A and B are shown apart, each in its own frame.
Chain A
């Protein structure tokens, strides 16, 4: 709950393991946006990963343990916000199902899920943000990551905020709702098929002729950035939060500093 002397809602940032490990700048961009939206942001240390690798590999016991750990880590926050549709979907859609048969946790998981939001949809739907104060000169295309799109209905929210970025020209690519081929461990276990999928994706990206590709999930972004780097395509890749927060001092995903 928010402090009696501080009316701002208390938001617990679920950093996500990929952002924590691979690209902290997305986390800082998220904090900046949440603060601009009038929130007090805290980052519980007791969080690690949402448990999807275990959950999607059939390892239910570890998925359950991580679900309980995450729910406990965010006790007392008004909201739990994640810069990822995939991880937010896990917390919001799957935890209640995972824990539905655990009398001690079922209700807790449900009320937790009600407080969970993906970052951009939280800014737009819960905090009523309609514009951001950011500048990006160039053509941009946006990939709709699967879990955010189909589990959480994230489609217009990022486009609405991106339309307020000065100089930004959003061009839609063909098949922007088709999976990029990431799929967590799928990309490694079925690398050949994953590659065929990401090849189609990068062809569609390139056909839109953007200078920058955006999405709301770092896993998909690493997949597409890694493929375009291998293909030698000159298209920068960033998380949508970085653009919305105007946090562009770090090099794009997969690029070196300087």
Chain B
């Protein structure tokens, strides 16, 4: 089981903010994935209209999910697929272990799959004697460092090139110590050579699926490295692990969504490889697996369908929300404490592991709205985070001091006469205290604020007070600050 560290979010964030390597790696985001997406969007005049199309396809599919999954299964089985339904992560792990045993597997290669992270598959299989090899370069880096991905499409985005070089020298000890590893291409070459041997030796290849197509019974993966294709076509057994929300009705629909996916993710018009799998190898096929299994995971998603949280199931895992999130940009993905970081994690994680365990995630947002503005599926992420906050409030899960402050403030705010009277006195006092400097360096109840910045002092009288005086003809103050 991947450890859930969502409760330690604040401490994790502090560590991340103090990590100069991580900060250097994160600093590349705005000029990288963010700028690339903007350029790709600007080159496609119908991009914003396509977002509506994408949203509508996904909404329609989710409204009829049972029908489309059943249709997908019918077509997939007709093409020779073995379809397995996994209500929980444990079920999915069991099913995959069984498939690996039946295949007498020793080496299991893996394409990139967030669902396999969600069910913590690697550790489970390794504990049962299988050698599991991640073949996406980023995933490979994360695996050899015994870390987890810090981003859903760029798992090693938290690493700098120097860290990768050091890891390769530390682990690839069979290679000459004096080899040159300066250029990114040299690092890629080295990883490729090692992974090629694994591809050929693998007994089972596990991939995720970006989509399942009901019309044809296919699964699709999109990659830039081609590692997914080698994973799924060189091993005798191909296992796809995908969640129930991955299904789309037709090839036409998936084409529309794919036009959004790569542009939103990396700014590419299309990913380098888009590979469709429909059943195992047929007689006339030049290559392909002898057996093709698809494990469909629910893990709590079907319960979301009947709630307002359903909209999160439109997600196509492009990562644009985290690339553009100022909080993610500040702390990276590991601080979020579980599989899905950034705004998608702030909504999905509490939905899957519970609001109590993950309460920090939906709260650690300024609601700046940038994630919703870039989401290719137009998921109202801030709204969904707010729904989690409502659940948290109703559960009484807020820190006591904060809850008390909030309720006291609301009590006054709901009584305007009392509120305005109280405000006069409070503001007069604060204005007198802070007026000489114009700002506070420290205030007892505002430590979270004044630890890092001054708090500008109030001018000393409330607008309502001054307005009332002006309306009564007393004075029109040239300066609104209280004179002492």
List chain A positions with a Cβ less than 8 A from chain B: 15, 17, 19-25, 27-28, 43, 45-49, 51, 53-60, 62, 65-66, 69, 73, 146-147, 150-151, 175, 177-179, 181-198, 200, 222-223, 225-227, 229-230, 249-251, 253-257
Hey, which chain B residues are within 8 Å of A192, CB to CB?
A: 10, 13-14, 17, 452
Bound state CA distance, A49 and B419, in angstroms? 10
- Which of B61-69, B281-289, B436-444 is found at the contact surface with chain A? B436-444
Asked whether, in the complex, the Cβ of B386 is within 8 Å of the Cβ of A194, the reply is no
Bound state CA distance, A193 and B364, in angstroms? 9
Hey, which chain A residues are within 8 Å of B435, CB to CB?
A: 256-257
Binary A-proximity of B376-411 (CB < 8 A = 1, otherwise 0): 000000000010111111100010001000110110
Asked whether, in the complex, the Cβ of B366 is within 8 Å of the Cβ of A183, the reply is yes
Bound state CA distance, A147 and B372, in angstroms? 12
Instruction: Check: B250 CB closer than 8 A to any chain A CB.
Output: no
Bound state CA distance, A256 and B436, in angstroms? 6
Asked whether, in the complex, the Cβ of B481 is within 8 Å of the Cβ of A257, the reply is yes
Asked whether, in the complex, the Cβ of B456 is within 8 Å of the Cβ of A22, the reply is yes
**Given the known A-B contacts A15-B463, A191-B449, are A54 and B330 also in contact in the complex, defined by CB atoms under 8 Å?**
no
Least distance between B233 CB and chain A CB atoms (Å): 43
Hey, which chain B residues are within 8 Å of A73, CB to CB?
A: 416
Instruction: Check: B232 CB closer than 8 A to any chain A CB.
Output: no
Asked whether, in the complex, the Cβ of A48 is within 8 Å of the Cβ of B416, the reply is yes
Bound state CA distance, A62 and B398, in angstroms? 15
Q: SS class of chain A's interface: helix, strand, loop or mixed? A: helix
Asked whether, in the complex, the Cβ of A57 is within 8 Å of the Cβ of B439, the reply is no
Bound state CA distance, A161 and B367, in angstroms? 28
Hey, which chain B residues are within 8 Å of A56, CB to CB?
A: 367, 386, 389
Asked whether, in the complex, the Cβ of A57 is within 8 Å of the Cβ of B406, the reply is yes
Q: A24-B466, A226-B454 are in contact. List 6 more A-B contacts (CB 8 A).
A: A21-B462, A24-B467, A192-B452, A197-B366, A225-B456, A229-B438
Hey, which chain B residues are within 8 Å of A226, CB to CB?
A: 439, 449, 453-456
The chain A residue sitting closest to B464, CB to CB, is A20
Partner of B366, one of A59, A146, A222: A146
The 3 closest A-B pairs by CB, nearest first: A183-B366, A58-B393, A58-B389
Q: What are 26 A-B pairs at a CB distance below 8 A?
A: A15-B464, A21-B458, A24-B466, A27-B467, A43-B464, A48-B412, A48-B414, A48-B416, A53-B406, A54-B406, A62-B414, A73-B416, A150-B368, A150-B369, A151-B369, A178-B370, A186-B363, A186-B364, A187-B449, A189-B363, A190-B364, A193-B364, A197-B326, A225-B454, A226-B456, A230-B454
The chain B residue sitting closest to A18, CB to CB, is B458
Hey, which chain A residues are within 8 Å of B455, CB to CB?
A: 222, 226
List chain B positions with a Cβ less than 8 A from chain A: 10, 13-14, 17, 30, 326-327, 330-331, 363-370, 372-373, 386, 388-394, 398, 402, 406-407, 409-410, 412-414, 416-417, 419-420, 423, 426-427, 435-439, 441, 446-449, 451-459, 461-464, 466-468, 478-481
Bound state CA distance, A100 and B97, in angstroms? 49
Hey, which chain B residues are within 8 Å of A66, CB to CB?
A: 410, 413-414
Bound state CA distance, A228 and B344, in angstroms? 32
**Given the known A-B contacts A43-B464, A194-B452, are A54 and B410 also in contact in the complex, defined by CB atoms under 8 Å?**
yes
Asked whether, in the complex, the Cβ of A251 is within 8 Å of the Cβ of B438, the reply is yes
Bound state CA distance, A73 and B437, in angstroms? 36
Hey, which chain B residues are within 8 Å of A28, CB to CB?
A: 463, 466, 480
Asked whether, in the complex, the Cβ of A57 is within 8 Å of the Cβ of B393, the reply is yes
The chain B residue sitting closest to A17, CB to CB, is B413
Asked whether, in the complex, the Cβ of B366 is within 8 Å of the Cβ of A179, the reply is yes
Hey, which chain B residues are within 8 Å of A194, CB to CB?
A: 366, 452
Asked whether, in the complex, the Cβ of A254 is within 8 Å of the Cβ of B454, the reply is yes
B394, B439, B446, B456 — most chain A CB neighbours (10 Å): B456
Bound state CA distance, A248 and B22, in angstroms? 43
Asked whether, in the complex, the Cβ of A146 is within 8 Å of the Cβ of B479, the reply is no
Least distance between A208 CB and chain B CB atoms (Å): 17
**Given the known A-B contacts A147-B369, A150-B368, A193-B330, are A223 and B459 also in contact in the complex, defined by CB atoms under 8 Å?**
no
Asked whether, in the complex, the Cβ of A46 is within 8 Å of the Cβ of B30, the reply is no
**Given the known A-B contacts A146-B368, A196-B330, are A222 and B386 also in contact in the complex, defined by CB atoms under 8 Å?**
no
Bound state CA distance, A27 and B461, in angstroms? 12
Least distance between B355 CB and chain A CB atoms (Å): 10
Hey, which chain B residues are within 8 Å of A46, CB to CB?
A: 416
Bound state CA distance, A254 and B334, in angstroms? 36
Asked whether, in the complex, the Cβ of B453 is within 8 Å of the Cβ of A230, the reply is yes
